[in-house]
Structure 1
Amino acid sequence: MMEAAGNSSWWDFHALSENPRKPVEWSNSSIIFTAHALQPLILARHFSSSKQFTLPLPTPILSNPSAYKPPTVITCSSDDNWLFAFFPGRGEDGLSCLWNKGVELDSWAVKEWWMFAQSAGVVAARWLGGAREWIIDSTTGVPARLPPQGPRTPVSNPTLVLVTENHRIFVCYLRYYKLTLQMFSCSLLQPSATFEQQSDNSKDELIEVDSVRICTHAAIGTTYGDSIILIAMRSQVFPVSSLTLDQTDQFSLDLGLSLDMEPEQTEIYPISCEDPGEDSKIEIAKVQLQYNGSRMILSSKVLPAIQNAPHRLRDLLFVCKPPSNGGTSPSNLYLVAGFLDFKDYTSPPLSSLHCYTFTKTDATSEEGTWTMQPKITREFDTVVLAQVVASQPVNKDHGIYVCVYNTSDTQARGTRQAEKSVGQLKTLKIPELTDDDAWDSSPLLSRFRREVSVNSVVSPGQTLLCTIYPSPWTSEVSTLKLPEPKATDAPPTGSIPPLALSIVVAVLSNRSTDDLTHALLQPATPLSEVAEVLYHVFTLLDRHLPGSYTLQLGLIVESYRSRTLRAISKVHDKDRTDAVWRATHDMISVATCNAVFSDCTDGEEYHTELIWQMIDLSSWILGLAETLVKECILSSDFNESTGSTKEAQEDVFGSSPPTKNTNLRSLESPVFMHFVHPQALKNLRIALGHVNQFRKYLTRLTPTTENSQLSKEVLIDLVEHSGIDIQGLDEILERLEKSVEGFDEDDLRRAMVSCQPAEYMQIPLRETVNSMSKSPALNKAKLFLGVHEMIDGQAQTDRPRKDSSRDKDVVSKGLLLHRAQGMNCVRCGGRSEYGKDPLASRPMTNWEKSWARRCLCGGSWTRATYSS
């Protein structure tokens, strides 16, 4: 008998009282980092993949993993090159670790690790000195750079700010041209100042008569156009049975210790955890980090605290709005605090949200006074507030996101029903804390039982929310769709889709677009909508980022390939999207081949040490040309060729043609974009010209070694037996190029996003196709009846051929040697071994270095194994 559903009880939400929370971080390269549920490990995976990897551990954890808890703080720098985490100790000192990312997304190495004493662990962390953010006008589509946020760091990278349990702020940094990590700190409970490399003589004012205060929650806030840092702290008071002055001295962290040596274990003061009480105030400190030309200076000043704040603090975060109308004056800072009160544990908890506004009185002065305005409060009576997450400016300022859960449930418990909404993900205005009517809400779904998320993070593109759920055995994560702007009945003519604006901002900011194009992968999204979004993206990029041809093609590859992999029911859509991304990837490869030939050419001479690499490229270019030419011949109008249809077909194939090729093919195939797009056609002609020039160079070259003689014969054999007279084909393409140069740019953009030539574009294309079918520059017998396709004199046109692209290096187009661990592209799925071959003696060329961190399609690399 099924158990009847009813109202929720306090235990359904008790996981929200967990402190510290399970950390979760979503980097700008779309890597999601979480903490292992039981072990001191950091788990990570790329958003588009289900494959998980772990970060390497520092020596102390490797030698004694049972001495440390799972990390409580994980944060990644904005440039994705650095990651920080703090591991509390189990009755021992806690450990902080800094990782540095390698070439691949999943390649990380421990840079530094250092210890923090018990009751002095890290509570909050924030990176400083990141690149200025981009924002885009939702009406005009004009992008702009926001002012710098927080203090500048002209001599250090990375620069990390930490707030610890003993109410201190630490600045951890790497000086330019120095290999070791440096740090210095000052107190947040009293005015203090310290210089870089100055010995720490400060004393922690933490001790009261019969208690000690430990910081349990902290928020670090910075604002646009000002170097100030605001720190908000909530403490908990623990009774102390006995405390001496000497034991107090042991509470501070000795910064004079070497970073690569673990400090000696010291006995800390005894703390009785009975009846700990939450402090009634939220302390505020103002911090400045300055550079005087030789050293950095860190100073702090205590501001008036927030008195009589409610108990049971759940969320504490700063929110900063971008300046309006492109202004440079400092913006207001908003401190948002969420509270969750379980009362006497007889009913669901009561939730409230408070917003405190901090305003700088003298905006022109660096030492201006920051004052706090009266708070704004919102109570949640019928729902429970679970998460509060700040949004980042993209195309519209919309405050914060909140997750609220219903306290009543009509779904029968234990039944296997479809996902049902158990709450809402809403957008609130800042500082009003009211629902933003311009935005829809998103449902919070649960399949079998009520699951309340304990922490969450917004994706870099502000489209998805990654949530983590309480579990004693594993880290369960889920992604939710963030609220979207409400659709209007009659959108303005020429309006730009919000998703297109977000993609443009991500491209300008050099961020991953995986979370944005994810919205285009859903089966319910028609291909016409995908093309419309990309069209607006390319229009804005052409306007504000000239020369982004290959970058735009990379976005097409990402959008259509991901949709191909997810397509299940619609076979036609899957075939279409597969053809689109492959044709687009070929266009990128052609442009890449031209860049390689240009880099390896010195006038009319070639770099002899790269002969075989250029032969691989020439072979790929000729193979692509053969594929395109054969598609043209099969699509030609035989009725307009010489003689009857049958005679013309016999002239093409040299014998009776296969039955399946007798019908006229459409010229809407994605491969024909190579001929109708001016840039693609120009690149193809240049590539064929490089092959022809390279062949002439090897022909007149007198071989001095067996290797040079072999390379010469291989390339000459490739060209002469390809079935294509390059010079004759180029004359045909030259006439076509004169015709396509007059095509409208807007029409070309629409044709490119759908990878389908428009009807009027097919007119000169049809003439070219028919010219190819009659041209003596193409040897039809060699094109269609290759030796590898003949067995006992019969053409094997129906025999499926294995896709050999997985055996080729996506960059060099040569065979994968499998002599070292290669790299996989997360965007196109291509594999490369560039820079990984341990037997390679020569240094990498410029064009090889250019693809070291990214694939030619613009995708990031991950490590590949032979079996993957």
Structure 2
Amino acid sequence: MLSPSKGKAKEETQWSSGWWEYHPLLDQTQRPAAWSSSSTIFSAHPTQPLITARQFSSSKQFTVVSPPPILASPSSYEPPTVISVSPGGDWLFAYFPSGEIDGVACIWQRGPALDMWLVKEWWTLNRGGGVVAANWLGGPREWTIDDAGSPTRLPPRGPITPVSLFTLILVTETRWVSICYQRQYFPTLRTISCPLSEPASSGDGQPNASPPDSHKICTRAAIGLAYNESSILIATRSRTIPSNSRDNSLNSINLTLPLALDIPPEPEAATEWESWGEESSVELCEVRLDWEAMVLSTTPLPVLHGFDLGLSNLTFLQPPPHSAGSMESSPDAIYLAASYLDFGDYTSTPKSELVLHALSRSDAGTETRAWACKPAATRSFSDGVLTFMHPCGSTSSTFGLYVGLLDTSGPLPREKSLLKQIAIGSIRVFRISDLTDHERWEPGSIMSPANGVGRDLPLNSLLSPNNTLMLCNSAWSVGPSRMSIQMLPTLVKDAASVAVPPLSQKLATSLLSGTSTTDISHLLAALTVPLEEVGETLIHALILAENGQDKGTLTWRALGLALETYRLRARKAHSEAEREILNARWQTALETCSLASCNSAFEDCKDGDGFDLSAVWQLVGLSTWVVNFVEKLLKECILSLDLTGSSQGHDDLFDTSSTPQPSVLLHLAHPNSLKGLHAAVSSVTRFRNKVGALSASEENSQIAKNVLLDLIDCSGVDLNALEPVLGELLSDVQKFSAEDVRKGLMICEPTSSMGAHIRNAIEKMTSSAIVNRPRLFIKPFELMDGVSQIFDARKDKPKDIITKAALSGRSQEVVCLRCGGRSEVGMNTTHISPSWRAWERLWNKHCICAGAWVLQ
């Protein structure tokens, strides 16, 4: 709310927030959301039982298909209260409550496209037994890079699930834990459940007993998965309700009873209402899963007492192990962080308190070591309200706790536009040992538009897949939720951070794990970041990642990262000259990926010394693209010479210190690009020779033969003469240092040290023995009236980014989020050779640039 201050009119206006703005933290009316590793943001619809989603940083939204009960009767269900996505991004879970009938839980499986979700399993849960918290087992092991720049893989979290498609942990209002899983090659979902309030065990196929303590319901829960630990830790907060409220007996009145009853009230019943409400304790339980025998067991741990305030957040966190690469290292302490709010007499904004508990194994024995819990630290806040918290940092020296603190009032500048962003709080990092401010981190600000300051506060938050951005949204309301992207705290620039730049470190771990890099590319694409700094960040990320993975896969992912970054930046560029440079860079990266994909197609479609003729037309389409690309490259080489009339004595033309070289010339100097170009020319040449030797007995092959011969023999390039020249150049580029190779790959342009080689390559490739200049620049159809328009129309027709053929428009198309390419791969498999179909399956879930698909 806005309140004018006293004094002159020129003084600032004050904004303030009321206590009611923070109460959703206690009454659990926050809208659930999840940010997947593929950078898809899932959130609950404000009024309908739907899940809406959008791909960051796109503004396009889609709706996840609902399970059958909700489709049949949507008015009977409420918006989902729990949304959880698996670490790999392939599975999605949500729970939809109902005020009239049983609630519905559902698991979706992701299809080939990010916005294609299919209902895998759904089941109903009794009223009063809804899901409170969810988590996934069996996620991929995380990568981390220490302060020295060495990448290592962290141990697995929680129990290992070797033969399961997915394994989901659920905590319900009945204070039970359920393990939902589906074994590989088994069609149905299996569930094992046990109570959390008492020691128990249950096996697969055993019926679940009736839930005990029906007068208590779980209102908040946290699920902890520790490194190298077979146990699961669960913390719950419960609320005591009337013992007969679950069957709605309080709402029934017996009209047959006499009006006067002389029955003395029982002392227990007279004081029962005094125990209603939220309990002042947090219950802990150890859950073990024996995957071989499929037995689930629970062992309650000592209760944490003395927390009379309202609980707003509850989460587990654990620092990375000191010996990150060791699979046998014992787990370090795992911490339970809980934040509380004290509203007092509801006349002012609440006071916040953060409490930290440390849980660790005792030293007695090996298999029977019990968990011990002790207080670690407590911190109170009077100048702000604690709204959210998340673990942060990937090394032991930077690990801490993100904490969001909102101001309760502040100055509002008097300006004509109230859309200006102003700071309404801060994001700080606390040390785990004592909850003091972490000296390695600089706080960040929580921003809000001035026209909505003080209301619809960002109470809920999500971290992006690479922990570089934070998505904040307001509490549950009947209208759309206010979402905002907030900048996280940054590391202090000291000697340690200079050695390993934070963004390069996060990019390297993302490249190693294969997660989406969109959140980091979003930062690098900002025009406030110098273009030179973008290249240095990408180069440093590749250096860090090269120590942890096979270079073949890593180079492909790094090339896609560079493509994504420069394409995003090109969209924001103000200068036309800069936009042309950036577009040329990402186009060069895409051409390198296309050459690699074409080579793999020719390799997969080999049939002995020849080729699979059932895929002849598909290979002709790839050959067409290769020939057109070679002609484009040679045109650029000739135009580079024509700028000065000769390549002799004009070294400045190839000096990147003065003028950047054309990006497309990188294909003549970078080992990966030149290797792909040489292999593509060799494959097309061999394919032409094999098809050219076919007899005229097969009509289809004969037609393809004529088309292919016209394509290659009538082009402006002699591929037979070009192939050995490319082989010689490929031997020459091996002299470049690893530093030059990395730099050329990440900036998608030739480096200054490649100038002499490129000058020599142009001289060799533009000789009259290879290039026929009239045919290269002037095509026969361009000399005929009316025919050129037909060829131009065919040329402008959209092409499939995978097959390089024209899109038919008769099948469902998918679009790559990274490069924007469109494809119909896998949508039409009629009369396609098995070898070609197997090659197409490689691109079902991602594009040739490693980007993800979405439906057109």
TM-score past 0.5 threshold:
yes
- Paired with 2:786 and 2:171, the residues of 1 have a C-alpha distance of 78
Q: Which residue of 2 aligns with 1:232?
A: 235
The answer to whether residue 60 in structure 2 is matched with residue 55 in structure 1 is no
Q: Which residue of 2 aligns with 1:76?
A: 85
Deviation at 1:399, TM superposition (A): 1.9
Deviation at 1:339, TM superposition (A): 0.8
Q: Which residue of 2 aligns with 1:344?
A: 345
Deviation at 1:394, TM superposition (A): 6.4
TM-score by length of 2: 0.89
- Paired with 2:68 and 2:718, the residues of 1 have a C-alpha distance of 63
Q: Pairwise mapping of residues 249-648 of structure 1 onto structure 2 (< 5 A)?
A: 276-291=276-291, 293=292, 295-326=293-324, 328-362=329-363, 365-391=366-392, 393=394, 397-411=398-412, 416-417=417-418, 418-447=420-449, 448-450=451-453, 451-470=456-475, 471-488=477-494, 495-545=499-549, 546-547=551-552, 548-567=554-573, 569-636=574-641
User: Residue 435 and residue 804 in structure 1: after superposition, are their counterparts in 2 closer, same or farther (change >3 A)?
Assistant: farther
- Paired with 1:630 and 1:363, the residues of 2 have a C-alpha distance of 76
Q: Report the RMSD for the aligned CA atoms in angstroms.
A: 2.9
The answer to whether residue 697 in structure 2 is matched with residue 688 in structure 1 is no
The answer to whether residue 817 in structure 2 is matched with residue 815 in structure 1 is no
Structure 1 residue matching 2:679: 3-state secondary structure: helix
Deviation at 1:338, TM superposition (A): 0.7
Moved more, 680-689 or 630-639: 630-639
Q: Which residue of 2 aligns with 1:17?
A: 26
Deviation at 1:747, TM superposition (A): 1.6
Q: Which residue of 2 aligns with 1:863?
A: 855
The answer to whether residue 718 in structure 2 is matched with residue 725 in structure 1 is yes
Structure 1 residue matching 2:562: 3-state secondary structure: helix
- Paired with 2:797 and 2:109, the residues of 1 have a C-alpha distance of 30
Match of 2:206 among 191, 198, 202: 198
Structure 2 residue runs of 5 or longer lacking an equivalent are: 5-12, 251-271, 651-657
- Paired with 1:594 and 1:622, the residues of 2 have a C-alpha distance of 13
Moved more, 437-446 or 746-755: 746-755
Deviation at 1:359, TM superposition (A): 1.4
Q: Deviations for 1:808-867, whole angstroms, at most 9, x for unmatched residues?
A: 110111111111111111111111111102645655533211111111111111111xxx
Asked if the contact 1:112/1:181 (under 8 Å) is kept, the reply is yes
- Paired with 1:793 and 1:158, the residues of 2 have a C-alpha distance of 60
Letter of the structure 2 residue corresponding to residue 236 of structure 1: R
TM-score by length of 1: 0.88
Q: Pairwise mapping of residues 170-209 of structure 1 onto structure 2 (< 5 A)?
A: 170-200=178-208, 202-207=209-214
Q: Pairwise mapping of residues 2-13 of structure 1 onto structure 2 (< 5 A)?
A: 3=4, 4-13=13-22
Q: Which residue of 2 aligns with 1:850?
A: 842
- Paired with 2:437 and 2:669, the residues of 1 have a C-alpha distance of 50
- Paired with 1:416 and 1:217, the residues of 2 have a C-alpha distance of 41
Deviation at 1:426, TM superposition (A): 1.2
User: Residue 540 and residue 434 in structure 1: after superposition, are their counterparts in 2 closer, same or farther (change >3 A)?
Assistant: same
Q: Which residue of 2 aligns with 1:214?
A: 217
Deviation at 1:108, TM superposition (A): 0.8
Q: Deviations for 1:559-605, whole angstroms, at most 9, x for unmatched residues?
A: 111111232x2322211111000011101111111111111112321
Structure 1 residue matching 2:850: 3-state secondary structure: coil
Q: Deviations for 1:618-640, whole angstroms, at most 9, x for unmatched residues?
A: 10000000000011011116877
Q: Deviations for 1:232-268, whole angstroms, at most 9, x for unmatched residues?
A: 1111122346899999xxxxxxxxxxxxxxxxxxxxx
Deviation at 1:363, TM superposition (A): 7.6
Letter of the structure 1 residue corresponding to residue 95 of structure 2: F
Letter of the structure 2 residue corresponding to residue 537 of structure 1: A
Q: Which residue of 2 aligns with 1:35?
A: 44
- Paired with 2:3 and 2:356, the residues of 1 have a C-alpha distance of 44
Deviation at 1:711, TM superposition (A): 0.6
Number of residues paired by the alignment?
807
- Paired with 2:797 and 2:489, the residues of 1 have a C-alpha distance of 39
Q: Deviations for 1:270-327, whole angstroms, at most 9, x for unmatched residues?
A: xx99995111111111111113x4x311111111111121321100111122211336
Q: Which residue of 2 aligns with 1:834?
A: 825
User: Residue 840 and residue 433 in structure 1: after superposition, are their counterparts in 2 closer, same or farther (change >3 A)?
Assistant: farther
Structure 1 residue matching 2:752: 3-state secondary structure: coil
Q: Deviations for 1:60-102, whole angstroms, at most 9, x for unmatched residues?
A: 1111111111000011111222111001112321110111111
Structure 2 residue matching 1:410: 3-state secondary structure: strand
- Paired with 2:812 and 2:303, the residues of 1 have a C-alpha distance of 56
- Paired with 1:273 and 1:566, the residues of 2 have a C-alpha distance of 62
Percent identity (aligned)? 38
Asked if the contact 1:395/1:498 (under 8 Å) is kept, the reply is no
Asked if the contact 1:138/1:395 (under 8 Å) is kept, the reply is no
Letter of the structure 2 residue corresponding to residue 325 of structure 1: S
Q: Deviations for 1:10-62, whole angstroms, at most 9, x for unmatched residues?
A: 23433433415211101111111000000000011111321111111111111
Q: Which residue of 1 aligns with 2:256?
A: none
User: Residue 711 and residue 523 in structure 1: after superposition, are their counterparts in 2 closer, same or farther (change >3 A)?
Assistant: same
User: Residue 609 and residue 433 in structure 1: after superposition, are their counterparts in 2 closer, same or farther (change >3 A)?
Assistant: same
Structure 1 residue runs of 5 or longer lacking an equivalent are: 248-271, 646-664
Q: Deviations for 1:373-418, whole angstroms, at most 9, x for unmatched residues?
A: 1242111111111111233636864222111111221106996332
- Paired with 1:352 and 1:682, the residues of 2 have a C-alpha distance of 61
Structure 2 residue matching 1:338: 3-state secondary structure: strand
